Amino acid sequence: MTLTPVITEHWDAPDLYTLDGYQRFGGYRALRNALTMDPDAIITTIKDSGLRGRGGAGFPTGLKWSFVPQNDGKPHYLVVNADESEPGACKDIPIMMANPHALVEGVIISSFAIRASHAFIYIRGEVPNALRKVASAVAEARRAGFIGKNILGSGFDLEVVVHAGAGAYICGEETALLDSLEGFRGQPRLKPPFPAVAGLYASPTVINNVETICNIPYILDRGVDWFRQFGTEKSPGFKVWAVSGHVNRPGIYEAPLGITMRELLDYAGGVRNGGEVKFWLPGGSSVPMLTPDHLDIPMTYEEMAAAGTMLGTGTPMIFDTTVSVVKAVTRWLEFYKHESCGKCTPCREGTYWITGMLETFEHGHGAESDLEVLVSACNQIAGRSFCALGDAAATPFPAALKYFRDEFMAATQTPVDEQFDPVASYVFAGAVAR
């Protein structure tokens, strides 16, 4: 399968991030067109395109937009979830760095479609460079008359606010993001009501991922048929794949949905040092891991689900044989324990417990019977926590145990650092003095 650079097509142009650079490659053409359309027609177009959310859950975007009640007399809001914090996920931030105007144009069109006159871009606070790029793109767009009152004479008014989060993973959960945006402590909200009915400031709100929104101008500009020629029936379009880990050329590869990991690995130059894949994750630490046996499965929402995992953010992480799976899982759980917001019992207490138990394995003190307790503890979290953070935290261990039980057994005897030289797994292993 060939690469299909769309969002990333002109990333080598040094001034793509500027308004002039973006317009030189056809930027804001879709907006001019969209503003002449009936907003409902835009929603229909996006529905027809089959675009699914790129933030991890893969919910159909057009369907989400159509949930917003119209003529309800309430203000509507578009909120862009740019709080990319998932371990292993690094696609939204590069997009915002390299092609911020695609996001801005997408925001304007999407707002027009759902009749929002106020849009918010909630950017993870730890990435001020991305924040600056987007803020400056918004300012440029405003000067060009794409944001503000009566945009391009269409009568459509839009304000766009770029908001910096304060560094909490939970704020990537859409309702926690809304609380945070409203100035409260970021914790997920009880649903129903769903954001489409009562979201930001209790008004109908659409929350979309950065990459999802960036797809919008291209779909409108080039058409549904063009979009659907990529991918599969259930997973149409292309994806910004961010490949990381033990590969020779980690980075961003834009290719249709349905590409296999083996193909992506080839584009990424294969495993470093001619090594072998030990395990890999298709999209962030919150999806179950896979093994080399799964390298030829088409990476679509449906095929990944059939393989017992999820496409997630579509940011594969590759681990070669130098890595201890026990250690990797322990690091992820330490992350979830640290980021659990504390609201619900299973996530707050479960991550604390599981992490502690995994650490005993990492140090070679685990007991075989603890493996069953760990599985049971994960089962007590999955599906019972308040939001998906708990589900995510309950994911890594059972998958790891399924494929690498022997390694956990070995960790009942020997500390993992004695089994796996930690330095060998470093990307910069060769540069470390022994």
Residues that bind other proteins (CB under 8 A): 168, 170, 185, 190, 337-346, 348-353, 356-357, 373, 376, 379-380, 383-386
CB of 339 to other proteins, least distance (A): 7
User: Distance between CA atoms of 218 and 41, rounded to whole angstroms?
Assistant: 16
* Residue 315 or 340 with smaller CB distance to other proteins: 340
CB of 338 to other proteins, least distance (A): 7
CB of 124 to other proteins, least distance (A): 16
Q: Under DSSP, is residue 242 helix (H, G, I), strand (E, B) or coil?
A: strand
Q: Under DSSP, is residue 375 helix (H, G, I), strand (E, B) or coil?
A: helix
Strands of 238-245's sheet in order across: 251-256, 238-245, 317-320, 277-281
State phi, psi for 148 to the nearest 5 degrees: 125, -150
* Residue 174 or 339 with smaller CB distance to other proteins: 339
User: Distance between CA atoms of 393 and 349, rounded to whole angstroms?
Assistant: 11
CB of 365 to other proteins, least distance (A): 11
* Residue 48 or 370 with smaller CB distance to other proteins: 370
* Residue 252 or 357 with smaller CB distance to other proteins: 357
Closest CA to 255 of 3, 1, 82: 3
* Residue 277 or 401 with smaller CB distance to other proteins: 401
3-state secondary structure 211-223: HHHHHHHHHHHHC
CB of 86 to other proteins, least distance (A): 17
User: Distance between CA atoms of 137 and 99, rounded to whole angstroms?
Assistant: 9
CB of 286 to other proteins, least distance (A): 17
* Residue 113 or 394 with smaller CB distance to other proteins: 394
Q: What is the DSSP string of 111-150?
A: HHHHT-SEEEEEE-TT-HHHHHHHHHHHHHHHHTTSSBSS
